[in-house]
């Protein structure tokens, strides 16, 4: 630690400045640069719960969910009442398909704040991954109500309605999102799948041209199912549309 303190003094970096550098690198997605910066912060301030939690987020972004969980555990031990490390640990647990553990972290948050939109949304993803799309729909709806501008929650709500057979409700939600967020690919891709399923091929093709131009990942059914975690019905419908289009 003595050498690091000397380095901070030599470079005229205070601990808050070093923390800010690490935070900026994290927010800008420069995770390879951010990790050693957080390491330096924690060598100087090993009891800083926020630094542990932020380093955990970087570990997850670099593809190390086990290390991320260990860092979030440390943050929780230092600040047992803080919600952020529970949310962040839940995200890392989801990356390992540890659905029960992730749900437990989100329920911990929601027991203290039932309107915490991020926890509601993440819990919806967990419920969907466990195959309970009715429960997922309730979570997404609660998240969208708690944070009206939460576009991804509204798109996930529409997808869960699609999965559960409420095509009219899903279509209305998709169209409302497209009007409000014309550059948001998710509802355009979802509407493409829904329109194809009900036989409106021409309009489906029009929406798909926009969706695929905005985000080419929607061409990949495996990405939709495993990373974005669409319900199986919409994934299969979009895959069938793509097979027809090709």
pTM assigned to the model: 0.90
- Work out the average pLDDT over 181-208: 96
Q: Where are the alpha helices (DSSP H) in 45-82?
A: 49-61, 65-78
pLDDT at 1 over 90: no
d(CA 91, CA 28): 19
Q: Residue 141 gets which letter from DSSP? A: H
- Looking at domain 131-246, its CATH class is mainly alpha
Confidence class for position 237, pLDDT limits 50, 70, 90? very high
d(CA 153, CA 123): 11
Domain ranges of the chain: 1-113, 131-246
pLDDT at 3 over 90: no
1-113 and 131-246 agree in CATH topology: yes
* pLDDT given at position 11: 55
> 1-113 — its CATH code?
1.25.40.10
- Work out the average pLDDT over 1-22: 68
pLDDT at 230 over 80: yes
* pLDDT given at position 15: 87
Do 170 and 154 meet the contact criterion of CB atoms below 8 Å apart? Answer: no
d(CA 41, CA 106): 28
């Amino acid at each position: 630690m003595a050498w690091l303190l000397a380095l901070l003094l030599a470079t005229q970096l205070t601990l808050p400045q070093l923390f800010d550098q690490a935070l900026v690198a994290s927010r800008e997605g420069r995770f390879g640069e951010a990790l050693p910066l957080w390491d330096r912060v924690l060598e100087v301030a090993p009891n800083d719960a926020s630094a542990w939690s932020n380093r955990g987020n970087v570990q997850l972004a670099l593809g190390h969910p086990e290390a991320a969980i260990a860092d979030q555990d440390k943050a929780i031990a230092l600040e047992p009442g803080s919600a952020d490390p529970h949310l962040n640990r839940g995200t890392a647990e989801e990356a390992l398909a540890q659905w029960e553990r992730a749900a437990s972290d989100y329920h911990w948050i929601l027991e203290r704040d039932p309107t915490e939109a991020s926890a509601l949304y993440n819990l919806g993803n967990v419920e969907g991954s466990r195959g309970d799309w009715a429960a997922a729909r309730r979570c997404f709806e609660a998240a969208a109500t708690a944070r009206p501008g939460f576009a991804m929650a509204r798109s996930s709500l529409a997808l869960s309605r699609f999965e559960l057979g409420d095509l009219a409700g899903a279509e209305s939600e998709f169209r409302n999102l497209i009007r409000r967020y014309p550059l948001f690919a998710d509802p355009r891709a979802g509407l493409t799948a829904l329109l194809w399923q009900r036989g409106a091929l021409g309009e489906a093709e029009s929406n798909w041209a926009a969706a695929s131009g905005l985000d080419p990942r929607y061409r990949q059914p495996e990405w939709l199912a495993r990373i974005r975690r669409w319900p199986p019905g919409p994934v299969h419908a979009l895959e069938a549309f793509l097979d027809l289009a090709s």
